[in-house]
Structure 1
Amino acid sequence: MKFEDLLVWKRSAKLCVEVYQQFDKSRDFGFKDQITRSALSIVSNIAEGYERDSDRDRVKFLSYAKGSCAELRAQIYIGIQIGYIDRTLGQQWAEETRDISRMLYGLMAKMRR
């Protein structure tokens, strides 16, 4: 299977695009850089993992992607508190990171068997 066919990759890519678009004109370059990098890290690690030769390597990169979900979620919470992210949008994004994380966990568990 190609990573482009994975629902978890598609959802991660969609979220990444939304984050980039939201912060396109942000002048807080530190926050913008950090939040966009963590969003991009999710999709990138899924892709890199799926190009690896072994399930062990795939699981390692899926685990990195899962960690990036938590990092992004933490940044979303901060973004809401400081007024950079609308609360409703932030809650939707946070829920999406939780869903993506669960999907990644399921893929990892399947590969470990």
Structure 2
Amino acid sequence: MKSYRDLIVWQKSMNWVTLVYKISEVFPESEKFGLVSQIKRSSVSVPSNIAEGYGRNYKKDYAKFLQIARGSQYECQTQIEIAVNLSFIKREQIQEASDLSIEIEKMLNSLVNKLLE
């Protein structure tokens, strides 16, 4: 593997960020500096931490950054769920992102476990 860009989990997380940004476009203007900002920040943190961890010299450091990425993903999932509860978006609108998020979550778990063996 030449780069973090070759990691499928990174590629999928980049696609997930794009979906999250599109989902948040329909939120009320009053949430621009609230929930929208939080959702965007936490979603961007996922591929960013995957990339940063990849650049570390030690497996334990890499695993730590992957765990941070996973935490950011959980944070974003929660924020999107809040948006659904507040009726900013409908559950059907997030299905593709939710499915992809679960896939990424499983990939992160697997990679962390592999690194810590």
TM-score normalised per structure 1: 0.90
Identity %: 36
Figure out how many residues of one structure are paired with residues of the other and give that number.
113
2:105 aligned to which of 93, 101, 105: 101
Task: Summarize the alignment of residues 1-113 of structure 1 with structure 2, pairs less than 5 Å apart.
Answer: 1=1, 2-24=3-25, 26=27, 27=29, 28-29=31-32, 30-113=34-117
Asked if the contact 2:24–2:36 (Cα under 8 Å) also holds between the matched residues in 1, the reply is yes
CA RMSD of aligned residues (A): 1.5
CA contact (8 A) 2:19 2:97 kept: no
- For 2:13 and 2:88, the matched residues in 1 are separated by 21
- List runs of 5+ in structure 2 lacking aligned partners: none
Query: Any idea what SS the aligned residue of 1:107 has?
Result: helix
1:76–1:94 CA contact under 8 A, matched in 2: no
Specify which structure has the bigger relative contact order, considering alpha-carbon pairs within 8 angstroms and separated by 6 or more residues.
Answer: 2
Aligned-pair distance for 1:86? 2.6
Runs of 4+ more than 6 Å apart:
none
User: What TM-score, normalized to structure 2?
Assistant: 0.87
Q: Indicate the larger mover: 78-87 or 37-46.
A: 78-87
Q: Distance in 1 between matches of 2:23 and 2:105?
A: 22
Q: Which amino acid aligns with 1:80?
A: V
Cα deviation code 1:21-41 (max 9, x no counterpart): 333464112111000111001
Q: C-alpha separation between the residues in 1 aligned to 2:97 and 2:90?
A: 10
Unaligned 5+ segments in structure 1 are none
